[in-house]
Structures are given as structure tokens and as C-alpha cells.
Amino acid sequence: MAEDDPYFDPQAERKSKELYVAPEKDNLIQKGAEINLSKKDPSFKSALVGIGWDLKEYDRDPPDLDASIFLLDKNDKTRVDEDFIFYHNLSGCDGAVSHTGDSRTGAGEGDDETIILDLNAIPFDVLKIVFVVSIYDLDMSDNNFTHVKNVYFRLVNQDTQHELLRYELDEELCSESTGLIVGELERVGQDWTFRAVGEPRDGGLVKIAAGYGIVVLQDIPA
């Protein structure tokens, strides 16, 4: 039961929904797009990342989508285990990166999971931040991305609450994969540039994490 899970935040859905704002369609991007966010908005120093989704079917156990990030060095690897921010490690870089908690259902409007980044406080040897969406599949269910819809990723200037980009992912999530590399926020000199990757991965979060130097226990609870 979720109530028995010490890592489950029963208020996560409500807290994330309170951050909802109407989409700004002129900020829509597509797979492969690259945007220098520092030039687009010179005041961009703190980011709110929001991810949302809806269910296609209500007569089955809902897929549990998880937003995670990896902080990478010049070798495209995590420096320490704490550079993997996910539902069991909600904070990194001494609080410069903060995950607000796990949403299990995607119910309601607005962001289902959010991550806050204080870009000025992230160490300079972190050159890339990778954003991942995955489906918790270790309960041996047949859930995959074909069971969700209206999946989006948005990036907001946390100080001004201005949405800088929105990436709608339904086209990228047409496969039966359980993991997706959404995009990368890369430090280039003093600027931060976002690239929309949209690359499905088989094996879910465990396999993605291994590629960045993190060993995740196969039986880690949701």
C-alpha cells in the first residue's frame, strides 16, 4: 500500500498541481530543437521543470511515471551517486537541485512532478543535466508509455514564472518502452542551452542510470 511506503508523499499530487499555469503554445518545441535559454531570457538563473501526463485507460492499474535527472561531468557520467535525483533521492548539490516528490497517478490538470534547479549553485564541473521520464515497471506489470497521453515537459524561469519552453512528447512515446531521455540542459561557457532529445529506451530507469555510471538495485521499491 502507498500509505506504508516511507518514500511516498501523499501530498505530492496536490502540491505539484498548485503550480499549474495555462500552456504558452508559442513556446512549443520539437525533437532535435536546441535553445540557448540564457540568450532567450538573460534573467534565467533558476529553473522549474514540470512534467505532466494523463491516463488513456481507467479500467486498469495506472502506470506510475517518474521524473528523474542526472548531473553529468565532462565525461557524460555522474560524479557521485547523489548526482542521480529521483524518487529516493530528492535533493542534490547541497539543495541546488530539488525534486518535489513522486506522483503515482497523473490525476488532474497541471504538472504532476516538478524539479527546481538553482543554476548558479550547481558546481562548475557539472556540465550537463539530463532529464528522464520512466515508468516504474518492477512490479512485473505490462505498463508502458502506450498507456498514457498528453505527456509534456516544460521549463520555466522560476524567478519570473515565465515558461521558456514546452515539449509535448506523445509522438515520442508511441512505443512500448518504459524509459525516455527527454532532453539535456548543457552549460556552454556562461550560458545554458537546452536540447530536446526525445529518445525512448528499453529497460526503464535502471538501464538509463547504468549508462550514466549509476548502479540501481533491481528490487528498489517505488
pLDDT number for residue 25: 65
Would you say residue 222 lies in a domain? no
The answer as to whether 218 is a domain residue is: no
Tell me which residue range forms the domain holding 141. Answer: 2-18+29-211
What contacts 217, CB < 8 A, 6 or more positions away?
A: none
Q: Which pLDDT does position 157 carry in this prediction?
A: 97
Q: State residue 142's pLDDT score.
A: 73
- Using an 8 Å Cβ cutoff, are 74 and 188 in contact? no
pTM recorded for the entire structure: 0.83
Q: Is residue 154 part of a domain?
A: yes
Q: Is residue 162 part of a domain?
A: yes
Overall domain count for the chain: 1
Q: Specify the CATH number for the domain of residue 89.
A: 2.60.60.30
pLDDT digit string (tens) for the chain, length 222 residues: 344 444 445 454 444 444 445 555 689 999 999 999 999 999 999 999 999 988 876 656 767 889 999 999 999 999 999 999 998 899 999 999 999 876 655 455 678 999 999 999 999 999 999 999 998 765 546 777 877 888 999 999 999 999 999 999 988 877 678 899 999 999 999 999 999 999 998 888 999 999 999 987 654 544
In a domain, 119, yes or no: yes
The one-character DSSP state at 78 is B
Residue 55 covered by a domain: yes
pLDDT of residue 129: 98
Residue 24 inside a domain? The answer is no
pLDDT at position 168:
94
Whether residue 216 is contained in a domain is answered as: no
CA–CA separation, 93 vs 122, rounded Å? 6
pLDDT score at 103? 60
46 vs 49: CA distance, rounded Å? 10
pLDDT of 185: 98
The 8-class DSSP code of residue 77 comes to S
Q: Give pLDDT, residue 191.
A: 96
